[in-house]
C-alpha cells in the first residue's frame, strides 16, 4: 500500500500521529459541464473540477504528490495541469486532435477538448472500492524534548486588496525543549466567510519575514506545506501564515476569510491545542496598490556569453525595476537561483549591485543566492526605476561548466509598497518570450501573457579554461 505524509491531530490534549492511505479513485466531480475555455493562468472552480476529473484517470493524473495531486486539487491552471490536459488530448486524439490536424496535445482546453470532457463527465462516476486501513496510531508521550505550540499575537484586522502579497492572517509560536525540533510540514485551512478563489496561494513566513514555503488551496480548502524548518533547543520562534491575493477579486469583494493552522508534522512529542485561527481579513476589490515592471538592465549580459576561469567582476544577470504610479516602493531583497552546472566553489564574491553599492549575495545551499538590502530596503519612487545587477568572480575550478542565474518567481524580487505596506509582485514590462535565456517568460511570449517559471531566465555564462596565446619549440 502507498502512503502519503504523517499527519497529527489533537485528541483530549494528546497528539496522535498516523499515516493516511493513498487511494486511487475515480472522478467525483461528474456530472459537470465546462462552459469556458481554459489555459495556463486560468483560475476558479472550473479549473479545480478539471483537475479532479483528470486525477480520476492514472494516465492523466496532474501529479503524484503536492499541489494538483489527488486530494490536493487547486483552482490554478499551471504547467502541470497543462501537461495533464495534453495527455488527455492525446489519449482521445481521434475526437480532439485529428479533426484539427494536430498530432500533439496543446495543453489548452478549447472547444474540442471541452466537448470530450463534457461527454465523459455527463454521468456520475462509479465510486471506488474502499476497505483499506491505515497503520495503527502512534501516541506521543510527554517529554522535556517536547515542541510547544502557542498562539502568537495575531495580526491587526486589515484589508486584503487585489494582487497583494503576504497579507498576514495568523501567527503561531513554536518553542523547543532540551533539543532541536524539526517540523517537517504544516497543514493550513481556509475558513470563515469567504472562498478559495480570493487567494492565489497561501504562504508561510519565517521569523525574519521571509516566505520560505507556499502552496495552493486544494479541494479540501487546505494547503499542505512540506518544507521543513527547525526550532533550536531552548528557543521560541514565531511564524506567520499569509495570503497572496488574486489579481481579480470582483467576485470576492467584502468576504472575510481566515487562515488557520490545522496540524503539524514532526517526529517530536507536541504540546498545545490545534487548530489555531488568526484574524479574518476583509477582501477588497477596489483599492489599487502599487505595481512594478521589470526589463533587462543595460548592464545585463544581453545574451549568452563565455568567460574564463579566474575572471573577476563578471556580470551574470541584470534587471531594471520600474515602479508604477500608485505608490512608492521599496526593494527589500532579491533571491537569485543558480541553475547552471557550476558549483558554489566555482564562484566567489557574488553581489547584487544597486546604484553603485554592492550587497553580498549569500547562499546556504549553493543554489539560491540572496541579497538583502538594509534600512527597510532601497526606495523606488513612483515612475522611477533602479537597476539590480548580479556580479561576481570565477575561481579556478569551474572550467567547462556553466553559470545561469534565474529568478524563479516574481516574488523573488522582494518589493513592498510604502503607502499600504503590502508585498508587490512585478510583471514583465519587456524582453519577453515563451522560452529561452536572458528573457522574462510568459505563456504568450509578450507582456500581456501570464508569467511562467522561471519568471526571469538568465543568460548562460560558459566558463572556458583559458585561451592559448602563443607557442614555442624548445
Facing residues of 26 across strands?
Answer: none
Distance CA 332, CA 411 (A): 11
The CA-based dihedral angle spanning residues 156, 185, 197, 152, taken in that order and rounded to the nearest 10 degrees: -10
The verdict on 164 and 229 lying in the same domain is yes
Of 296 and 22, more confident:
296
Distance CA 140, CA 264 (A): 13
- What pLDDT band is residue 182 in, cutting at 50, 70 and 90? very high
The verdict on 398 and 276 lying in the same domain is no
Residue 342 has pLDDT above 70, yes or no: yes
Of all residues in the chain, what percent carry a pLDDT higher than 70? 88
**Position 67 in a domain:** yes
**Position 411 in a domain:** yes
Q: Which of 284, 306, 329 is the last residue of a domain?
A: 284
Of residues 323, 307, 141, 174, the one with CA closest to residue 241: 174
Q: How many other CB atoms are found less than 10 A from the CB of residue 26?
A: 15
- What pLDDT band is residue 123 in, cutting at 50, 70 and 90? low
**Position 370 in a domain:** yes
User: Hey, what long-range contacts does 213-216 have (CB within 8 A, 24 or more apart)?
Assistant: 214/244, 215/66, 215/67, 216/67, 216/68, 216/74, 216/75, 216/76
The CA-based dihedral angle spanning residues 175, 181, 185, 188, taken in that order and rounded to the nearest 10 degrees: -10
CATH number of residue 325's parent domain: 2.60.40
Distance CA 10, CA 205 (A): 24
CATH number of residue 39's parent domain: 1.10.101.10
pLDDT at 144: 66
The verdict on 110 and 165 lying in the same domain is no
The verdict on 115 and 251 lying in the same domain is no
Residue with cell 512594478: 292
Q: How many other CB atoms are found less than 10 A from the CB of residue 12?
A: 5
Residue 178 has pLDDT above 50, yes or no: yes
Q: Domain limits at 404? A: 292-464
**Position 9 in a domain:** no
**Mean per-residue pLDDT for 386-397?**
97
Residue 131 has pLDDT above 50, yes or no: no
**Position 10 in a domain:** no
- 312 φ/ψ angles, rounded to the nearest 5 degrees: -120, 160
**Position 199 in a domain:** yes
Structural domain count of the chain: 3
Of residues 430, 450, 355, 329, the one with CA closest to residue 42: 450
The verdict on 323 and 239 lying in the same domain is no
Q: How many other CB atoms are found less than 10 A from the CB of residue 223?
A: 28
Distance CA 460, CA 438 (A): 8
**Dihedral (CA of 151, 152, 157, 158) sign:** negative
The verdict on 101 and 163 lying in the same domain is no
- What pLDDT band is residue 137 in, cutting at 50, 70 and 90? very low
The verdict on 257 and 306 lying in the same domain is no
Distance CA 297, CA 334 (A): 15
Answer yes or no: pTM beyond 0.85. Answer: no
Of all residues in the chain, what percent carry a pLDDT higher than 90? 62
Range scoring the smallest mean pLDDT among 6-15, 157-166, 230-239, 431-440:
6-15
pLDDT at 70: 81
**Position 134 in a domain:** no
**Position 129 in a domain:** no
- What pLDDT band is residue 29 in, cutting at 50, 70 and 90? confident
pLDDT at 439: 97
Of residues 173, 157, 259, 166, the one with CA closest to residue 210: 166
pLDDT at 135: 31
The verdict on 408 and 450 lying in the same domain is yes
**Mean per-residue pLDDT for 160-166?**
93
The verdict on 108 and 230 lying in the same domain is no
pLDDT tens-digit series, residues 425-450: 999 999 999 999 999 999 899 999 88
C-alpha cell at 215: 502552496
The verdict on 298 and 262 lying in the same domain is no
Residue with cell 481566515: 258
Of 287 and 71, more confident:
287
pLDDT at 124: 57
pLDDT at 25: 33
The verdict on 303 and 280 lying in the same domain is no
Residue 194 has pLDDT above 60, yes or no: yes
CATH number of residue 198's parent domain: 2.60.40.2030
The verdict on 296 and 385 lying in the same domain is yes
**Mean per-residue pLDDT for 104-127?**
80
Q: Which of 256, 284, 312 is the last residue of a domain?
A: 284
pLDDT tens-digit series, residues 255-286: 999 999 999 999 888 999 899 999 999 999 99
- What pLDDT band is residue 195 in, cutting at 50, 70 and 90? very high
pLDDT at 467: 58
Distance CA 451, CA 445 (A): 9
Residue 9 has pLDDT above 70, yes or no: no
Of residues 283, 226, 278, the one with CA closest to residue 252: 283
Q: Which of 266, 284, 302 is the last residue of a domain?
A: 284
Amino acid at each position: 500500500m502507498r502512503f502519503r505524509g504523517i499527519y497529527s491531530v489533537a485528541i483530549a490534549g494528546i497528539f496522535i500521529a498516523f499515516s493516511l492511505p493513498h487511494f486511487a479513485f475515480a472522478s467525483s466531480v461528474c456530472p459537470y459541464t465546462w462552459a469556458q475555455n481554459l489555459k495556463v493562468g486560468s483560475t476558479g472552480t472550473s479549473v479545480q473540477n478539471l483537475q479532479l476529473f483528470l486525477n480520476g484517470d492514472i494516465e492523466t493524473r496532474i501529479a503524484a504528490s503536492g499541489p494538483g495531486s489527488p486530494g490536493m486539487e487547486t483552482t490554478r491552471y499551471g504547467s502541470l495541469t497543462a501537461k495533464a490536459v495534453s495527455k488527455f488530448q492525446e489519449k482521445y486524439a481521434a475526437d480532439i486532435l485529428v479533426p484539427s490536424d494536430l498530432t500533439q496535445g496543446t495543453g489548452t482546453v478549447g472547444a474540442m477538448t471541452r466537448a470530450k470532457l463534457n461527454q465523459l463527465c455527463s454521468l456520475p462516476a462509479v465510486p471506488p472500492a474502499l476497505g483499506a486501513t491505515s497503520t495503527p496510531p502512534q501516541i506521543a508521550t510527554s517529554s522535556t524534548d517536547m515542541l510547544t505550540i502557542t498562539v502568537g499575537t495575531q495580526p491587526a484586522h486589515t484589508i486584503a486588496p487585489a494582487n497583494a502579497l503576504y497579507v498576514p492572517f495568523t501567527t503561531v509560536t513554536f518553542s523547543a525543549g532540551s533539543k532541536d525540533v524539526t517540523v517537517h510540514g504544516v497543514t493550513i485551512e481556509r475558513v470563515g466567510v469567504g472562498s478559495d478563489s480570493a487567494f492565489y496561494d497561501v504562504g508561510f513566513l519565517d521569523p525574519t519575514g521571509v516566505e520560505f514555503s507556499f502552496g495552493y488551496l486544494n479541494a479540501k480548502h487546505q494547503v499542505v506545506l512540506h518544507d521543513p524548518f527547525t526550532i533550536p533547543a531552548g528557543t521560541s520562534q514565531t511564524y506567520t501564515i499569509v495570503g497572496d491575493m488574486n489579481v481579480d477579486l470582483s467576485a470576492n469583494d467584502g468576504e472575510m476569510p481566515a487562515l488557520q493552522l490545522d496540524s503539524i508534522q514532526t517526529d517530536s512529542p507536541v504540546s498545545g491545542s490545534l487548530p489555531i485561527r488568526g484574524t479574518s481579513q476583509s477582501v477588497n476589490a477596489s483599492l489599487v496598490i502599487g505595481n512594478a515592471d521589470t526589463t533587462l538592465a543595460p548592464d545585463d549580459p544581453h545574451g549568452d556569453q563565455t568567460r574564463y576561469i579566474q575572471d573577476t567582476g563578471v556580470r551574470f544577470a541584470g534587471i531594471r525595476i520600474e515602479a508604477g504610479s500608485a505608490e512608492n516602493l521599496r526593494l527589500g531583497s532579491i533571491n537569485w537561483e543558480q541553475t547552471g552546472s557550476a558549483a558554489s566553489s566555482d564562484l566567489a564574491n557574488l553581489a547584487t549591485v544597486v546604484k553603485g553599492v554592492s550587497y553580498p549575495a549569500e547562499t546556504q545551499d549553493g543554489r539560491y543566492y540572496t541579497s538583502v538590502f538594509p534600512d527597510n530596503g532601497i526606495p523606488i519612487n513612483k515612475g522611477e526605476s533602479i537597476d539590480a545587477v548580479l556580479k561576481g568572480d570565477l575561481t579556478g575550478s569551474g572550467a567547462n561548466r556553466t553559470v545561469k542565474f534565474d529568478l524563479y518567481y516574481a516574488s523573488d524580487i522582494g518589493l513592498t509598497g510604502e503607502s499600504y505596506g503590502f508585498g508587490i509582485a512585478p510583471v514583465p514590462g519587456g524582453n519577453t518570450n515563451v522560452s529561452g535565456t536572458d528573457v522574462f517568460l510568459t505563456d504568450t511570449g509578450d507582456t500581456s501573457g501570464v508569467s511562467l517559471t522561471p519568471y526571469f531566465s538568465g543568460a548562460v555564462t560558459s566558463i572556458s579554461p583559458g585561451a592559448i596565446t602563443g607557442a614555442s619549440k624548445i
